[in-house]
Amino acid sequence: MTTMSVPDRSLQQRMEALQNANEIRTYRANLKRDIKAGRADVVNLLINPPDELETMHIFDLMMAVPKLGRVKVNKLLSKCRISPSKTVGGMSERQRNELVLLLGRR
């Protein structure tokens, strides 16, 4: 049985990774506030997602949309055959297009 070791990182590398993660979390939190307040459009974000959203779960992004709660988000995602744990960057073109189409009709 072989064991895989985690690569050693210097303190500087760990601090840079932590700073990058904090910046992404802050960006996402502000973006969700903007979506909730109507200052950002989730359809445009789905069509052309910024790099910071690539690893965000689609469920978390959809929960920021006004008038969409857990039940509606789950129904919407299941209708488009998208797993709630799917990331924005991991969505196929078909999934992305179906979701954009359904959100455009709301």
Q: What is the pLDDT of residues 89-102, one digit of tens each?
A: 999 999 999 999 99
Q: Which residues contact 86 (CB under 8 A, 6 or more apart)?
A: 57, 58, 95
pLDDT for 2 equals 65
Q: State how far the Cα of 82 lies from the Cα of 60, in Å rounded to an integer.
A: 13
Query: Biggest alpha carbon distance in the chain?
Result: 54
Task: Give the domains, in start order, of the chain with CATH numbers.
Answer: 12-105 (1.10.8.50)
Q: Is the pLDDT of residue 1 over 80?
A: no
Q: State how far the Cα of 79 lies from the Cα of 73, in Å rounded to an integer.
A: 10
Q: What is the pLDDT of residues 10-54, one digit of tens each?
A: 889 999 999 999 999 999 999 999 999 999 999 999 999 999 999
